[in-house]
Structure 1
Amino acid sequence: MAPLTRNRASADGVPEPIMATYYAQRASAGLIIAEATTPNAVGQTYPDIPALYNDAHVTGWRRVTGAVRAAGGTMFLQLQHGGRIGHPDTTGLTPLAPSPVAFPDSIHTPNGSKPGVVPREMTVAEIRSTAKDFAAAARRAIDAGFEGVEVHGANGYLIHQFLSDVTNRRTDAYGGSVSGRIRFAVEVVEAVADAIGPSRVGLRIAPGVTANAMRETDIEHVYPALVGALADKGLAYLHVVFADPEQPLFRRIRDDWPAALIANPSLPWPTPLPADGGRHAAERLLSAGADLISLGRAFLANPDLVERLRRSAPLNPVRVEHWYGGGALGYTDYPVLAPARVPLAH
């Protein structure tokens, strides 16, 4: 199950009890990667997303992992710093980013939709302290009962902003050349791996994906360099978002990455969810060398997605209006299949 932001935490980032119900309902997934969680206050993207930088956050997440474990499931947690995808109305802080390049669209805040603000360029000291915040959050994740963490390097958030020559205009050791632009991603992953062990760490990437107004001009150079820099670190997996088995870069990443590769076949919103929940696309990716497939929207609307795919049963329609924020409606109230009938022995 791919990480899915649902905005059901408390205003101060503590997972609410209903989140334990939501994830336990989906425990049949081979692995749940829990939703994007901020490792520090300035990294918060949107209202009511979860956090993991104090003891209350650990306690809240422990309820979730306990419920999933009791239902037979396994969880990693995704750690995400928003970078320029943040707003003072949400955090009370000016967003930090590799360079002072504003997010060009509006951002959802507690006070409604607001224009993106110019972020403050991170100092080298802030870059290093942010890597330490990721590591500290990873340690808290293990304490909260997660099996490991996924570092979010995709979809236009802070790590992705460092990788791009459009959002990273630095001229120091963290910008400019490809080796400079991948440096922050490598240092964050290394810090997290040192904190909890590399076999508990994954990295998510999205080469060329334009989510959150992201632009990249040299993905054919950046991502092979990033994969090469991390290939011998003993990580649990690499997670490629919006993966295309026909894309030469995907095939190169597969060839260069020695460990497990998770591929996500989903297409960016508002592309409709396929009627098969992405099964055909998943099978193409498996044939192209992926080891595991992550599915997002299909799991959102179908707690029993694994069983539905097994039976080739129809899927619940996704209720888009309840994706972000709210209570049980459109969150924990999706129906499941009736148990399969077992023929009586004669």
Structure 2
Amino acid sequence: MIERPRRLRSTAAVRRLVRETHLVPSQLVLPMFVAEGITEPRPIASMPGVVQHSRESARKAYAEAVELGLGGVMLFGVPEHKDAQGSGALDPEGILNVAIADARAEVGDDLLVMSDLCLDEFTDHGHCGVLDAHGRVDNDATVEIYGRMGVAQAQAGAHVVAPSGMMDGQIDVIRRDLDVAGHEDVVVLAYAAKYASAFYGPFREAVDSSLQGDRRTYQQDPGNRRESLRETLLDVEQGADIVMVKPAMSYLDILADVRAAVDVPVAAYQVSGEYAMVEAAAAQGWIDRDRAIDESLLSIRRAGADIVLTYWAAEVARRLRSR
């Protein structure tokens, strides 16, 4: 017998030597929730180990992310007050813009400060855009607000803005407004293929979502595959510097398709429901928690992601450093 592939699996040392896909901290981005009006971190029941940060606890997390060598943090704001227009998203003193400024003051350029660019956290109806007279999301009015929101986040100090609303033409308007305002160096990370997924459930607790109805008229149908390439290529054409697939694990085929279709960096978001399922199963003793975490992240990297947003980013980075 000449072919014996098991030779390359015989010891841990040889497995490390020939491993095709690796995890390194610089590929990992930590999503963080910063809440207005709290003085201590507030646990999120459906996401064990994840919290809504106070501004002070968030500062400590930013510093730790630098120490661990993470690729960045993705910031989400949780305001105390919301309105139909999501006006808190544009307010320089709004919680997200203040959190961005805090992060830049803490880490400077040693860590990428990324910010979610969407209205859903700030609207009292919970949708990603403003509504028209018929209660539908008004695409064109929304993207004009997105452009202003991008400028506000850039002025606060964001290195990367991440439009997640899945509005038609959003990248074009945001890139235009950033450039006109003199923020040519701010990176646009486009949620290019974002599906209307059941796996976002815990996230809605994390941001105190006010959603009425659903987002199926603007997020993608889970049954569609080709559509994701259309969306992604449009975003690249309009100026996206990085494109992202969300969710990750149930959409690895989409991730592989996107990786093959573009020559810009590709990210994937391991979402709240994916996190919660592993944590819940591990808490019951049904799976090996650390191995399941690593395997899930490797699957995302193996499918083509250069960057992975994961709530386990800091934990995995600590573990990688100790090996």
Per the normalisation by structure 1, the TM-score is: 0.57
**TM-aligned CA deviation for residue 227 of structure 1:** 0.9
**Deviating more after overlay: 131-140 vs 206-215:** 206-215
Q: CA deviation at 1:63?
A: 2.7
1:190 aligns with 2:175: yes
Match of 1:250 in 2: 255
**Structure 2 residue 231 is matched with structure 1 residue 231:** no
Shift of 1:44: 4.8
Contact 1:38 1:44 in 2 (8 A): no
Residue 290 of structure 1 aligns to a residue whose secondary structure is: coil
Return closer, same or farther for 1:80/1:231 CA change in 2, 3 Å cut-off: same
**SS of alignment partner, residue 202 of structure 1:** strand
**Contiguous gaps of at least 5 residues in structure 1:** 101-118, 154-158, 163-181, 313-346
Q: Deviation digits for residues 281-313 of structure 1, max 9, x if unmatched?
A: 2223323322122221x24xxx4541312335x
Comparing 32-41 and 227-236, the one that deviates more: 32-41
Mapped to 1, the partners of 2:154 and 2:78 lie a distance apart of 14
Where does residue 271 of structure 1 map in the other structure?
A: 277
Is the contact made by 2:118 and 2:128 (CA closer than 8 Å) also made in structure 1? no
Matched letter for residue 271 of structure 1:
M
Whether 1:81 and 2:119 are equivalent positions in the alignment is yes
The alignment status of 1:126 with 2:141, answered yes or no, reads yes
Q: Which residue of 1 aligns with 2:245?
A: 240
Alpha-carbon distance between aligned partners in 2 of 1:277 and 1:78, rounded to the nearest angstrom: 27
Distance change in 2, residues 1:236/1:17 (3 Å):
same
Change (3 A) 1:197 1:8: same
Deviation at 1:198, TM superposition (A): 6.7
Identical-residue share of aligned pairs (%): 11
Q: Hey, what does 2:91 align to over in structure 1?
A: 53
The separation in 2 between residues aligned to 1:203 and 1:293, in whole angstroms, is: 14
Change (3 A) 1:138 1:266: closer
Partner-residue secondary structure (3-state), 1:258: coil
Aligned-partner Cα distance in 1 for 2:154–2:184: 10
CA distance in 1, matches of 2:108, 2:237: 31
Conserved in 2, the CA contact under 8 Å of 1:9 and 1:15? yes
Residue 272 of structure 1 and its aligned partner are, at CA, apart by 2.1
Answer yes or no: is the 8 Å Cα contact 2:162–2:189 preserved in 1. Answer: yes
Amino acid at match of 2:148: D
User: How far off its partner does 1:199 sit?
Assistant: 5.8
Residue 26 in structure 1 maps to residue 38 in structure 2: no
Q: After the TM superposition, which parts of structure 1 deviate over 6 Å for at least 4 consecutive aligned residues?
A: none
Aligned-pair CA distance for 1:276: 3.6
Paired residues in the alignment total 248
| Higher RCO (C-alpha 8 Å, min separation 6) | 2
Distance 1:128 1:292, change over 3 A: closer
Contact 1:98/1:122 (<8 A) preserved:
yes
Equivalent residue letter for 2:62: Y
Contact 1:265 1:294 in 2 (8 A): yes
Distance 1:134 1:250, change over 3 A: same
Q: 1:65 to 1:271 in 2, by over 3 A?
A: same
Query: AA paired with 2:227?
Result: V
Using the alignment, how far apart are the partners of 2:57 and 2:252 within structure 1? 40
Q: Which runs of 5+ in 2 are unaligned?
A: 1-27, 39-52, 202-213, 280-288
Structure with the largest fraction of helix: 2
**C-alpha separation in 2, matches of 1:226 and 1:198:** 24
Aligned residue among 128, 145, 159 for 1:147: 159
Q: 2:188 aligns with which of 189, 201, 222?
A: 201
* Conservation of the 8 A alpha-carbon contact between 2:278 and 2:292: no
Q: Could you tell me how far apart the structure 2 residues matched to 1:277 and 1:192 are?
A: 42
CA apart distance, 1:97 = 4.4
Does residue 321 of structure 2 align to residue 284 of structure 1? no
8 Å Cα contact 1:198/1:236 also seen in 2: no
The SS at the match of 2:305 is: coil
User: Distance in 1 between the 2:89 and 2:58 partners?
Assistant: 13
